[in-house]
Amino acid sequence: MNAPESFPAAARAAWNDSLLAQFPEHAAGILAERAMLRHFASGDAIRGAGEPSGVVYLIVEGLARVFVSSTTGREVTVRYAARGELVGLPALAAGRHNPDVAVKAMIDTDCVSLSASSLSRLAATEVGVAWPVARYVAETLHLSEQLWSNNVFQPVPPRVAFHLLELCTREAGGLVVHATQDELARAVGSVREVVARTLGDFASRALIEREHRVIRLLDPAGLHRIAATQPR
């Protein structure tokens, strides 16, 4: 079913490009009845660690980072969610949430919040909902496994290159990443000093250009080659 006409154009477009468009009309209508538009500023917690969520978020515009954190404050990225993607669906399908998982807006992010209880009931009774949800969860877990593999087995430069490509947005003048060195270090599971040296090396090779809180990607293809480096 296409998005409700009452939604803003951007929300309708994101809905229509997401798995929600695969749901039967009556099922999507039930979700749309309780759907709400939400805005999160850059750095806002969409869901805090240990915080159970009664909603699933559809990303309309922006970028969300799903991550786990340790008691010492170290963070490791599980996945990124961009336009048309859903946050909170794997936990809903599993019937429980991981208290160590949190979600943060990397840049200003608009979402549509969907009732988790309504979606859960529909998935339990409607095959036209259950199968798209199952496929989406499987694809999400597959991508998360790839990201975890990169973070665990790859050296820091390929990890940084990968995250720069994942975090970038297109603005006037090209692709840019709005993130500090500390934020990048947490994303790749390293420390600021190591990431700073890596960014300095990338800049010396004309792969990136650094400004305050902004990293411009001058050579995305070169970064992709580094990100694709196989661990020895």
Specify whether 133 is located in the same domain as 183.
no
Q: Which amino acid is at 177?
A: V
Same domain, 182 and 166: yes
For 140-178, write each residue's pLDDT tens digit.
887 777 767 766 778 899 989 988 987 888 787 788 998
Residues 90 and 78 sit within 8 Å (Cβ to Cβ):
no
pLDDT of the residue at 198: 97
Reported confidence tier of residue 39, pLDDT bands at 50, 70, 90: very high
Indicate whether 23 and 125 sit together in one domain: yes
Selected residue with higher pLDDT from 163 and 74: 163
Indicate if the pLDDT at residue 82 is higher than 80.
Answer: yes
Residue 1 lies in a domain: no
Same domain, 163 and 143: no
Point out the domain boundary residue: 134, 151, 168: 151
Give me the domain span that covers residue 167: 154-227
Tell me what the pLDDT averaged over the chain comes to: 85
Mean pLDDT of 196-222: 92
Whole-model pTM above 0.95? no
Burial class (CB in 10 A: 0-12, 13-18, 19+), 217: buried
Q: Which has more pLDDT, 149 or 11?
A: 11
pLDDT greater at residue 51 or residue 8: 8
Integer CA distances (angstroms), 139 to 19, 70, 135, 144, in order: 12, 26, 6, 9
H or E segment to which residue 69 belongs: strand 64-69
If asked whether residues 26 and 108 sit together in one domain, one would say yes
d(C-alpha 28, C-alpha 3), whole Å: 8
Asked if residue 173 lies in contact with residue 216, where contact means CB atoms within 8 angstroms, the answer is yes
The CATH number of the domain holding residue 72 is 2.60.120.10
Q: In whole angstroms, give the CA distance from residue 20 to residue 1.
A: 7
Q: Which of 117, 151, 185 corresponds to the end of one domain?
A: 151
Q: Are residues 202 and 169 in the same domain?
A: yes
Does the pLDDT value for residue 231 go beyond 60?
Answer: no
In a domain, 98, yes or no: yes
Q: What is the sign, positive or negative, of the torsion defined by CA atoms of 47, 50, 53, 57?
A: positive
Strands 45-47 and 101-105: antiparallel
Q: What is the mean pLDDT of residues 50-59?
A: 81
**Residue 164 and residue 144 share a domain:** no
| CA dist 188 → 11, 34, 153, 193, 206 (Å) | 31, 36, 11, 13, 22
In a domain, 3, yes or no: no
Report the first-to-last Cα separation within the chain, whole angstroms: 47
Domain end, chosen from 124, 151, 178, is at 151
CATH of the domain at 159: 1.10.10.10
Higher pLDDT, 207 or 4: 207
190 located within any domain: yes
Instruction: Tell whether 16 is covered by a domain.
Output: yes
Task: Give me the number of domains the chain comprises.
Answer: 2
Check pLDDT > 80 for residue 73. no
